[in-house]
Structure 1
Amino acid sequence: MRFHSSIFEQYDDLTRNLIYRQAAINVLGERLRPYRDVVAPMDMWKFCKGSMSIFHRHFHFQRANVRSSLAQKVGEFMESQFHRDGSPDDLTGALGSFNFYAAPADVKIIYLDYFSREAVISSIDVYVKDSYDFTDGAGSVSQYLGHWGAKGVIIVPYNGLVQQLNMPSLYVPYPVARGDVRVKGNIYYPVHNKDFRAWAIKHQRGGDFMIFSDRKRCQLRTPIRIKL
């Protein structure tokens, strides 16, 4: 399995740079301020009793976008052409574009004096959250989900580009062929959010949902310190 190097670069950027930005520190401070009087060291995951939705809702403080920009999508397409004959890799097929999120893991509150506290975050948890929804903005091109056929899914960059540029007048909703068009399975048809919604309404099946990956504990070389 081959993944585009930008995925690893953005994970590193999140854990080495983005979590130390002042805006992220400010958000983290707000997340931890209600616990400023807790004496014992805290494992925030255990504090949430193993609930990923609670953990994410109350404690995530920074994120890194993966494959969300047009440049990243074009790069992924080019890689698929060279290495997988146009087919998306496993990660793209499962998630497409997604976000890495960071949340505090090991937290200790230090009493500086009677009024002042300092939170020391020595490790963070990093995970992926992705929402599978099939809704489109008003007046926008319906999100392109690829060209689907009996033999799998392929990506046609023109369709993705039209969606990114949000130019309905340029959209060409035609199937494409790979190889002999007379051979069963060589025709691939464009599928968009609106197609899935129409199928779901017709068959009364399917819907939007949210997924989380496992958490990866990351020990920080430089602990984050926040005055509370």
Structure 2
Amino acid sequence: MKMEWAMQFERCRQAVEVAESRLNTANAVNRLKELLKEAGWRDHIDCQLGSKTMSARQMDACAQVNFAKFGSAWSTLDDMYGALGFATMKVGVTGKTFSKEISGTQHRQHYFHVEHVGLYIRDHYDFNGIQYLGTWTEDRVLTKSETLITLHPQGNLIIRLKDGPFAAITNANFRNYRVEQIKGGDFIIYSDIMWKKSDQIIELGTWL
């Protein structure tokens, strides 16, 4: 999946803004410190984290610091709703630590210089539970307004006369298909990474 495609949709653009705004939260800084320590950062040893050659999957493992959920049952029934529905916008960073001596003490104040911010989508496809997947005819999925119309006897008849038989599809239908056809499964998808140049400084505090 390409972020260029996803950014056509307003809810994706909003998720990018929210995820970016969470780079400097307490949780993000704590996560960043953990990742840096895993990468070799110490009180007197600076550390480079990540690079622009990383894939989204690699960033997810070693440089992702926060996220924003997006999509809901009330989202517009468009291509993004069909492809993702509910998804997670993740944000990661590349850059390097540096430190300064605190005057009059033996301690050092540590910082992280963000060189690039990476944004990407992670979503998982599983068919557990009873999630509703839409109301379908043989040829298409009904819009949300059409689905509401089918709840009334008159509307139900109108849709059937117009489009033929239809049915509400849930995860159970896919599970049954999977058993009968021995096809399909659960999986995780990642988009590519949308990179943004940055010069932000994140304060890491003193070494603990």
Structure 1 counterpart of 2:92: 103
Structure 1 counterpart of 2:33: 29
Are positions 1:193 and 2:186 aligned together? no
CA distance in 1: counterparts of 2:167 and 2:126, whole angstroms: 20
> How far does residue 129 in structure 1 lie from its aligned partner after superposition?
0.4
CA distance in 2: counterparts of 1:67 and 1:24, whole angstroms: 22
Q: Aligned to 2:160, what secondary structure does the other structure show?
A: coil
Aligned length: 189
Are positions 1:120 and 2:127 aligned together? no
Structure 2 counterpart of 1:11: 16
CA distance in 2: counterparts of 1:51 and 1:187, whole angstroms: 44
**Shift in alpha-carbon separation, 1:56–1:213, aligned structure 2, 3 A:** same
Q: Among 177, 199, 213, which residue is 2:191 paired with?
A: 213
Are positions 1:90 and 2:69 aligned together? no
Q: Among 119, 134, 138, which residue is 1:146 paired with?
A: 134
Task: Report if the CA contact (8 A) 1:122-1:223 is conserved.
Answer: no
**Shift in alpha-carbon separation, 1:217–1:158, aligned structure 2, 3 A:** same
> How far does residue 23 in structure 1 lie from its aligned partner after superposition?
1.5
**Shift in alpha-carbon separation, 1:158–1:63, aligned structure 2, 3 A:** farther
Are positions 1:62 and 2:66 aligned together? yes
**Shift in alpha-carbon separation, 1:148–1:91, aligned structure 2, 3 A:** same
Task: Report if the CA contact (8 A) 1:122-1:220 is conserved.
Answer: yes
**Shift in alpha-carbon separation, 1:63–1:178, aligned structure 2, 3 A:** farther
Q: Which has the larger radius of gyration?
A: 2
Q: Aligned to 2:200, what secondary structure does the other structure show?
A: strand
Task: Report if the CA contact (8 A) 1:120-1:226 is conserved.
Answer: no
> How far does residue 18 in structure 1 lie from its aligned partner after superposition?
1.6
Tell me, which stretches of 5 or more residues in structure 1 are unaligned? Answer: 78-87, 137-141, 161-171
> How far does residue 91 in structure 1 lie from its aligned partner after superposition?
0.9
1:89-116 deviation per Cα after TM superposition (whole angstroms, max 9, x unaligned):
11111111111001112x1121435974
CA-based RMSD: 3.3
Are positions 1:224 and 2:206 aligned together? no
Instruction: Please tell me the residue identity of whatever aligns with 1:53.
Output: R
Instruction: Please tell me the residue identity of whatever aligns with 2:165.
Output: I
CA distance in 2: counterparts of 1:40 and 1:58, whole angstroms: 13
Q: Aligned to 1:135, what secondary structure does the other structure show?
A: coil
Task: Report if the CA contact (8 A) 2:56-2:192 is conserved.
Answer: no
% of aligned pairs identical? 20
Instruction: Please tell me the residue identity of whatever aligns with 1:181.
Output: R
1:139-175 deviation per Cα after TM superposition (whole angstroms, max 9, x unaligned):
xxx0001112222112447989xxxxxxxxxxx8x9x
TM value normalised by structure 1 = 0.69
Task: Report if the CA contact (8 A) 1:178-1:187 is conserved.
Answer: no
